[in-house]
Amino acid sequence: MKLYYALACVVMGVHALFIVWVLFGSLLTRRRRLLGWLHMASLIWGIWIEAGPWPCPLTFAETWLEQRAALGSYQGGFLLHYLDLFVYPNIPQALLVESAVVAAIVNFGIYIRRHLAIKIRERKQAAAGANSAGMSAQAAALESSRPPGSGDPEQAG
């Protein structure tokens, strides 16, 4: 029974870490594309689980382990159960889902803003590169338009 209790605690910890990852993962993903994609997938998963009629696999595993450990399991989702106990007494399920969706929208907004900033930076760099290439072409054209043997006017004396 102690093994089931320990495993239930581990699953609860993983569950809490996953929720923190979903809420604040965009703060850790800057310049880390793979983490960004994983976080966006986590956001979609979190919304899908919270908004849909499906139970979260981690909630299911935790409940199963608690039952095997002869602990009283809870009804409803992980967030509702623990937020109800510790932070927000009597939090309505609809408010919980709406808050999760708002958190996801904020995170996606951060990713969109980063993406647009990268595109703007790339355009500016391309424009600067084109301008310097254009300046080099103009200098080459001026050089070739000088009469032969005229040389550089600054070196002439």
Q: Domain ranges for the chain, please list them.
A: 2-141
Which of 33-37, 42-46, 62-66, 121-125 shows the lowest per-residue confidence on average (mean pLDDT)? Answer: 62-66
- Please check whether residue 90 is in contact with residue 84, taking contact to mean a CB–CB distance below 8 angstroms: yes
C-alpha gyration radius of the chain = 29
Question: What's at 86, amino acid-wise?
Answer: F
The pLDDT assigned to 133 comes to: 60
Mind listing the pLDDT tens digit for each residue in 52-107?
A: 888 888 888 888 888 888 776 665 666 556 655 654 456 787 887 788 888 888 98
More confident call, 143 vs 20 = 20
What pTM did the predictor assign? 0.63
Q: Is the pLDDT of residue 19 over 60?
A: yes
Mean pLDDT confidence for 32-47: 89
**Burial class for 100, CB neighbours closer than 10 Å (0-12, 13-18, 19+):** buried
More confident call, 147 vs 10 = 10
The pLDDT assigned to 157 comes to: 47
Mean pLDDT confidence for 4-17: 83
* CA–CA dist 52, 56 (Å, integer): 10
For the stretch 105-110, contacts whose Cβ atoms lie closer than 8 Å and that sit 24 or more positions apart, written own/partner, are 107/22, 107/23, 107/25, 107/26, 107/39, 107/40, 107/43, 108/40, 108/43, 110/26
The pLDDT assigned to 103 comes to: 87
Question: Which pLDDT band, with edges at 50, 70 and 90, does 39 fall under?
Answer: very high
More confident call, 68 vs 135 = 68
- Please check whether residue 42 is in contact with residue 18, taking contact to mean a CB–CB distance below 8 angstroms: yes
